[in-house]
Structure 1
Amino acid sequence: MNLNYGPEYKNFKKEVISFCKKWEGVHFVDEAKSPLTPITKVGGKKITRTEWQSILIKEGYFARSIPKEYGGYGGESDVIKNRIIASEFSNHGVPSPMSGQGIDMLVPTLLELGTEQQKKQYIEKTLLGEIIWCQGYSEPNAGSDLASLQTKGELVDGNWVINGQKIWTSTAQYSQMMFCLVRTEPEAKKHAGISYLLIPMETPGIEIRPLVDMTLKAGFNEVFFTNVTIPEANIVGKRGEGWAVANATLTHERGSLTNPNATMNRVNSLINIMKKETINGKKLIDIPVYRDKLMTLQAKVMAFQSNSLRVLSAKLNPGQDVKMAGMIQKYYGTELRHELEGFAVDVMGEIGTLYESSPHLRDKGSWQFLYMYYLGLIIGGGTSQIQKNIIAERGLGMPREPKVQEA
């Protein structure tokens, strides 16, 4: 693989670096509290995330290939430039563009399959962070076997009337909209009877119940629908063909769950901690067993970065399996990130057992939080076990796992 970018990309890289130097020191303030939390510019000026998104779009560092009429930059799709932007933002500590299920998953889906009205109504506001989206897929009895979902949608007098329940819905309590899979053809085969609907979260009949997890935060929710009524036009794709739309969305989700640059930044943060913390007067970085494990993790992250080039290559070369490359990246990235966060908690010893309000926390307790949080991301977008089965069967051509025979 030739990793030489060439003169055009070298000049573009210089432009990105110049922009990053201008904005070095900008950071989000307590970002977890709100998707639109202000960020502070050097000199004390505060701007909202919406304003930051606008700056990035105007400069062409976000939404590059999204047409201007939908709020994007209006340039050509160029995955190499996108990679340069992500790498340099990470290298200089400049806030990345806002991400999330709406931006990373729904916007590409609407560009591919949405109506003109849907594109104009939702894409620009989603890019700016004015509309936050959640995903209504999983149900109590439909997780890995998602096509078994039972939430029902009936067309009554030009409106969809929805009844049922979703679970493990991330950010539902903060979202204005949900993209949701609903069974609209009860007599059809399970994959054929599903439609993909867009549901305003303030619609009467929606009840959200936050699920507090082991992080002591409600990252997931249950969502109940009781005669929730939305316009017929809020369907993406054709009626009963939502499974194909959902597969398009899921492909984008698997790519959004992993970020090699962010993972390497975490390694560098851990190195800084290990250079400062001591056991019996000896720095953690100088203890052979810890240093050996750290080097192993660093090598794994470098392999993770290299594999991201395979995804890039698949996107650049027609005929290569982009979906399979993304699935491998998702599996490897989420497992690696959890291993890294777990090692950090272990290596910090007693300090690693502290959480939240303790004055002795390192990095504000982010290691403890993310160690637990990544248990959920390993499941999100398809569990690691499911990912490995699909990679083995569809990617490597191995036989399907034998089913247990009933007695």
Structure 2
Amino acid sequence: MFAFLTSARKAVRPAAFALAAIALTGCDASMMPSLGGANSGGPKIDPSKPIRVALLIPKSDAGAGPVAQSLENAARLAISELNGVKVDLQVYDTAGNTGTAAAQAQRAVDEGARIILGPLFGESANAAGIAVADEGVNVLSFSNNPSIAGGNVFILGPTFANTAQRLMRYAKGQGKNSVVVVYSNDVPGQFGKVAIEQAATSAGIRIASAEGYSLSPEGVAASARAAAASVKQSGADSVFIATEATNAAMPMLLNMLPENGASPASTQYIGLTRWDVRPDLYGLPGAEGAWFALPNRAQQESFNGRYSAAYGSAPHPLAGLAYDGIAAIGALASQGRGDALTGNALTRSTGFNGVSGVFRLMPDGTNQRGLAVATIRNKQVVILDPAPNSFGGTGF
């Protein structure tokens, strides 16, 4: 299985890395500054020659195979649209397995990869980063899990923190001063709760209470009652719902919160996830006038059209992350930069232009994306504050 390894030293590394990945799965990789981050190195390149990029995707994973193909298609579309930059894309199958991801990352570097795009899953991305950290190769993963970001691993997936910060800053600008948080008692819910609390504190908004619910109808109902009671008792002017829009709990919350006294007429409803993916919510009592964040719709629709024209089908919602990774590499190489693949270059403050608008990689390995603030008005999505076109202006 490891016949491609070039020395006895490397022959023992994949097993060690797999064990390390298991230990570090729940850790914050940014606590390992020796691995690099924004100050990390990276292989020098000749930008006039093809850049070897390894794409790590779960091609043979039965559940994720279609996503993997869409990611590969998007990467190839991005390469075809680069201006004057040549990319030699080599695809490696992780099979959706952590150990395989680590082995394939090492194989890719042994075969000349200068940067890794992927893997899809957080644990696999963490393992891949560990596998190639000592060789100064950076990993642009498709994960949105901030706990694996840092060192030589960057995450391209949109984060709860970025969305919460955008919405809390907007809320403060609209005169909102206190919020009740509603979240599910599971891992995504806890991540969302923490992101909202941190964003509120940063914006100068008081957290009146945080009401978690167990994953049952009774649990959702109890949380709705507690959150509505907190609104009335504390005088909170907002309710921030961390629940995924596609979750069965969302329509219950949008009905039960108003029923229990958190009137949308006096309480601003805010959603951490995109509600435009679920039009059946639009007519519910808590949806009218609610705020949520969206990427740049015009740019997203343009990408969707180009992808469909090239491949005859719509892209998977995650496909744009692969396009963004190639776009960032291409933008830096097009400047003739020999250091284009270093942490310092990848985290440039001006960022990049991607599928859904502007984005930039942060020194801690996370990312920041330009988002619009939208609302539901008469069962239609209306943009209240457009996505910024650059960093440093409004919206950040």
TM-score by length of 2: 0.32
Task: Determine which structure has greater relative contact order: mean sequence separation of CA pairs < 8 Å that are 6+ residues apart, divided by chain length.
Answer: 2
The structure with more helix, counted as a fraction of residues:
1
TM-score by length of 1: 0.31
